[in-house]
Amino acid sequence: MSRIGKKIIIIPEGVKAEMVNNNEIKISGPKGSLGFSHHHEVKVKISGQEIIVENIGNSKKAPAIWGTSAILIKNMIEGVSKGYQKQLELNGVGFRMAVQGKSLNMALGFSHPVVVEIPEGIEAKIEGNIMTIAGIDKQKVGQFAAEIKLLKPVEPYKGKGFRYVGEVVRKKEGKKAVTTA
């Protein structure tokens, strides 16, 4: 039994939810609109300012699908009303990043510049050494931030590379010189 699936999802002011087909829900708000096709073992009911997700399947996976569907709908509502953002911090001497049109141009210590296209529906802003990635789709924002972080992950000796703002990276102690007596 899913505790998340049992909870009623409240639709905030300014957000509109509607069933498009038998198993598709569309949520629109001030920041945009998102759609979601739920599994056939789950039933979604919209009544007034509430969304109720019910489990109608009998398989072993049905409770997991029920909870996942409920949280995905809740994330879509939060995305179209408030939006999501991730912040990455780049540390290292000579490391630079800049937004040029719909792409990121970065100097990460390689022999060539790294150019990454910004996906549709994602905004990237750079202030100093902090990059802010924002959008309405939680999965897209998190995935793009993870892909950027993988380009130059933080190394444990000097702390160079990308890290999330507020992330703590434990530094290793370097090799010690052996003295002769």
67-87 per-position pLDDT tens digit? 999 999 999 999 999 999 999
3-81 topology per CATH: Outer Surface Protein A; domain 3 (3.90.930)
Provide the pLDDT for residue 90. 93
Answer yes or no: CATH 3.40.190.10 is held by domain 84-164: no
Which residue, chain included where needed, has tokens 């979601």? 36
148-178 per-position pLDDT tens digit? 999 999 998 888 999 999 988 888 888 887 7
Domain ranges of the chain: 3-81, 84-164
Give the whole-angstrom CA distance, residue 155 versus residue 172. Answer: 9
Task: Please give the model's pTM, rounded to 2 decimal places.
Answer: 0.87
Provide the pLDDT for residue 61. 87
- Is there a shared CATH topology between the 3-81 domain and the 84-164 domain? yes
Q: Is the pLDDT of residue 181 over 70?
A: no
